[in-house]
Amino acid sequence: MHLLLIEDDTRVARFIQKGLQAERHVVEMVFDGPQGLEMALTRPYDLIVLDLLLPSKNGLDVCRELRGHGIHVPVLMLTARDTVEDRVQGFAVGADDYLVKPFAFEELVARIRSLLRRATTVDLAPALVVADLTLDKDRHEVRRGGKLIELTPKEFALLEYLMRHPDRAVSRTMIEQHVWSYARDSLTNVVDVYIRRLRKKVNRGSRHKLIHTIRGVGYKLTT
């Protein structure tokens, strides 16, 4: 899974990053609130690990602004504060779980797994709609303007991932992690090939092109 870690203590951050990478997660790391907020608003993540006490903008403000922008990715908040009032504040601004420092790394991993399972269960709506493009998981059908589009299973999975993150750039690494379940440089060309096939099928016969290449970043499905 693709995680964002926002933690100002570099020693703690690198320890968490290393451990989560060993759990086969892709982990991006930033050390202050404003940069963390910007990344969370512009890139798709499966989960955010967010420290409460951050420079410039604290974790409560970051979480509050994320929810205000309609970003509902699970947030696990870390803090050295352990009072009931502190926990209540975290949940009030939209945090999904709360872990007090110091903590056992095994507990952090367990809580992340629980949040990811919960998010996956909630995210099983049968139909996705972006512009005039519809993907129905139950029927395993994709239609554009009502016209059926024939896709292979991998093309279907790739389109579903893009449609779950409309108007947001996704990198090849993110695609490999979610569609192929792991990331390797040798797969980069495979991603490009599948994107070309998918783009051709989805954009065929329409003036409004939905799938775009973001040079130096990856790909984006626009509304």
Contacts of 129 (CB under 8 A, 6+ apart): 135
Average pLDDT of span 111-127? 76
How far apart CA 138 and CA 116 sit, in angstroms, is 22
How far apart CA 90 and CA 36 sit, in angstroms, is 17
Eight-state DSSP code of residue 51: E
How far apart CA 215 and CA 24 sit, in angstroms, is 27
Q: Tell me if 40 sits within 8 A of 48, measured CB to CB.
A: yes
State the pLDDT at residue 10.
Answer: 93
pTM of the predicted protein model: 0.66
Q: Tell me if 27 sits within 8 A of 47, measured CB to CB.
A: no
Which token pair is 221? 């499905």
Average pLDDT of span 135-149? 91
Average pLDDT of span 37-45? 88
CATH number, span 2-122:
3.40.50.2300
State the pLDDT at residue 167.
Answer: 87
State the pLDDT at residue 120.
Answer: 65
Which token pair is 108? 């952090």
In the predicted model, is pLDDT for residue 125 greater than 80? Answer: no
Average pLDDT of span 165-184? 78
State the pLDDT at residue 51.
Answer: 95
Contacts of 119 (CB under 8 A, 6+ apart): 46, 47, 73, 74
Average pLDDT of span 99-125? 84
State the pLDDT at residue 119.
Answer: 75
Give per-residue pLDDT as tens, 148-161. Answer: 999 999 999 999 99
Q: Tell me if 26 sits within 8 A of 174, measured CB to CB.
A: yes
Give per-residue pLDDT as tens, 93-103. Answer: 999 999 999 99
Find the helix packing angle between 10-22 and 105-122, rounded to 10°. 60
**Under CATH, which architecture does the 127-221 domain have?**
Orthogonal Bundle (1.10)
Average pLDDT, the chain: 88
Average pLDDT of span 45-56? 93
Eight-state DSSP code of residue 187: G
In percent, the amount of the chain with pLDDT more than 90 equals: 54
State the pLDDT at residue 107.
Answer: 95
Structural domain spans, the chain:
2-122, 127-221
| C-alpha torsion sign, points 60, 65, 68, 70 | negative
